[in-house]
Amino acid sequence: MSIVVTGATGQLGRLVIDALLAKVPAEQVVAVVRDEAKAAPLAARGVELRVADYDRPESLAAAFRAGDRVLLISGSEVGRRVPQHTAVVEAAKAAGVAQLAYTGILGGPDADLALAAEHKVTERVILDSGLPHTFLRNGWYHENYTGNLGAALEHGVASSAGAGRIASASRADYAAAAAAVLTEDGHLGRAYELSGDTAWTYPEYAAEVSRQSGREVAHHEVSPERHLEILVGAGVPEGFAAALVDTDAAIGRGVLAGTSGDLARLIGRPTTPLADAVAEALKG
């Protein structure tokens, strides 16, 4: 039995591999990657590489073995993820894997934001497949915001979420949760609502960046229409900008504010505070 991580060279995938290697021997870990050369550092750590591509279903036939525990990390190409994920599920079923864990979205079938649509369909595909599964319904990452801290320092923080709260956590926290469900028993058939311990507002985020940077970072509450204009003007593709504005509307409805405690319980510690992520980003 191997523990197999798809998308293993991505931002989340790399961290899942790190978390797994802290728990199990490298010979038990497999990275499914599109580019073998890019994954050379993983191979150097003793991780087995299997080359496959979500967009080439025939390549996935050799990605899995009977009895494997598999993490399907959702694809990044919005609009293409359902056929990509379906190809992985079909290959995993054909191989007879022992577990298919999937990184979905907080709220699962009840999440009413545009970015949830493909995750909902994927969960249904997995359920219909009959595969032993675990749903990791990830909330937002701190890095969604701190990854672009330079823009906040220069222009302030614009949002259209009103007083809505975001229970985010670090990407490494979500990776640690994935490693836990892949290396421990008792997680089959479970759906975990994963989020940070503390939910925050955009004004609180701006205030934290101000406090740590020593610079005044204003929060600008704008209309959805103005928010879209700002994002497009900053170079965000219009379709993705519209999805971000839709997400802020969902935040205003409380969709991303849930603090179930599932994430902290899985990783065995409190989730990483937003302040720590801001400090880390300011160092960079």
Say what the pLDDT of residue 117 is.
96
CB 249 within 8 A of CB 224: yes
Structure confidence by residue, pLDDT tens digits, 189-218: 999 999 999 999 999 999 999 999 999 999
Average model confidence (pLDDT) across the chain: 96
Say what the pLDDT of residue 284 is.
77
Which CATH class name applies to 3-138? alpha beta
Asked: is 142-168+195-260+272-284 a CATH 2.60.40.420 domain? The reply is no
Domain coordinates in residue numbering, the chain: 3-138, 142-168+195-260+272-284
Q: How far is CA 39 from the centre of its chain?
A: 20
Structure confidence by residue, pLDDT tens digits, 14-73: 999 999 999 999 999 999 999 999 999 999 999 999 999 999 999 999 999 999 999 999
DSSP letters, 59-89, are GGGGT--TT-EEEEPPPS-TTTHHHHHHHHH
Say what the pLDDT of residue 149 is.
93
Q: Look up the pTM and report it.
A: 0.96
Say what the pLDDT of residue 1 is.
83
Taking Cα atoms as reference points, which of 39, 32, 29, 41 lies closest to residue 3? 29
Summarize the confidence of residues 109-127 as an average pLDDT.
96
